[in-house]
Amino acid sequence: MRLWTALLCVAVCIAACSRQPATGQGRSEVRIAAAASLKPVLPGLIAAYSKSHPEVTVLPTFGASGNLYSQLVNAAPFDLFLSADTAYPKKLVDTGLTAGTMREYAAGRLVIWARRDSGLPVNDLKIVADARVKKLAIANPMHAPYGRAAMTALETAGLHATVKDKLVLGESVEQAATFVRTGAAEVALLPKSQAVVPPMSEEGVFVDVPSDLYEPIRHGAVVMKTAGDAAAAEAFLAFVVGPEGQAMLARSGLAAIKD
C-alpha cells in the first residue's frame, strides 16, 4: 500500500509538472488554439518570434473558433486562444477561464474565390447565382465566424434564397477551401488570409466581398487561466499585436487593429 501510494504521488507530480514552464531548463512552451483562418500566417509569426526568443516553443493547433472554444471550456490544455471573432474569447472571460481580459489582434476580410481554370468571371458576389455555379462552399456558420459572415453577406445582398440549395458547409474555412480547390464546389466565400498566399493565390482568382454586407470580423485573443506559462503566452500575444506582428498580418490579408 505504501509503495502504491508513493507511485501515485509521483504520477500526480509528473502530471502537474507537465503544465509548468520549464524554467529550470530555461525553456517555455506556448500551446495555441488558433482559428483555421490563421493557418497561412501563424507559422510565419511563430518563426519570426522564435528568432528573438529561441527559448520559447510555440505549438499551434488549428480549427474552427467555435470548436476550439468548446474544447477550452472542457479544459483542453491550451495556453492562448486566437479566435477569428471576439464573441468566443469574451465568453471565456465571462466564465472566469482566462488569465485576463480579451485583446483584439486583427480584423478579417471576406472574399469570393474560384479556380483560375473554372472560367468564371469572379468580379462580383453575384457570381454565386450564376447557373454554372452548382456548389458554393462556406465554413459552417454554427461555429466558424467567417461562415457567419458569409451567410450574412448572402442574406444582405439578397442572394441567400437563390443559393441556399447550392451551399456546402466545411467544418472550418480550411475545409471549405479544400472543397473549392478540389472541384467539389465551383466558388467559395473565404478569409482573404487564405486567398493571398500560395497555393491558393497561384491556383485561383478572388475579389473582396463588400464590407458593408457583413459585420466586421474582429479577431480576439485570451490567455487561459490554466496556462503553464502565462507570461510566455502574454509575450507572444504582445508580439502579435506589436508593429512586426501587425505588419506580417497585414501582408497576409488581415487588417490592422482599429479601435
Phi/psi at 105 (nearest 5 deg)? -130, -10
Cell of 159: 442572394
- Interacting residues of 105 by C-beta distance below 8 A, sequence separation 6+: 82, 219, 220, 221, 237, 240, 241, 245, 249, 257
Q: Which residues contact 151 (CB under 8 A, 6 or more apart)?
A: 138, 141, 160
C-beta atoms surrounding 258 within 10 Å:
8
pLDDT tens for residues 21-62?
Answer: 444 456 899 999 999 999 999 999 999 999 999 999 999 999
The values of phi and psi at residue 91, to 5°, are -60, -40
Instruction: Classify 38 in phi/psi space as left (phi over 0), alpha (psi -120 to 50) or beta.
Output: alpha
Give CA 18 to chain center in angstroms.
26
DSSP class of residue 130?
Answer: S
Full set of structural domains in the chain with CATH: 27-107+217-251 (3.40.190.10), 109-213 (3.40.190.10)
What pLDDT score was predicted for residue 257? Answer: 75
Whole-number pLDDT of residue 25: 57
User: What's the whole-number average pLDDT of the chain?
Assistant: 90
Looking at residue 4, its pLDDT comes to: 38
The pairing of strands 110-115 and 187-191 is antiparallel
Per residue in 199-222, pLDDT (tens digit) is 999 999 999 999 999 999 999 999
pLDDT given for residue 5 in this prediction: 36
Report the predicted TM-score, pTM, of the whole model to 2 decimal places. 0.88
Write the pLDDT tens digit of every residue in 68-99: 999 999 999 999 999 999 999 999 999 999 99
How would residue 258 be classed by pLDDT, with cut points 50, 70 and 90? low
Confidence at residue 95, expressed as pLDDT on a 0 to 100 scale: 96
**Residue 12 pLDDT exceeds 90:** no
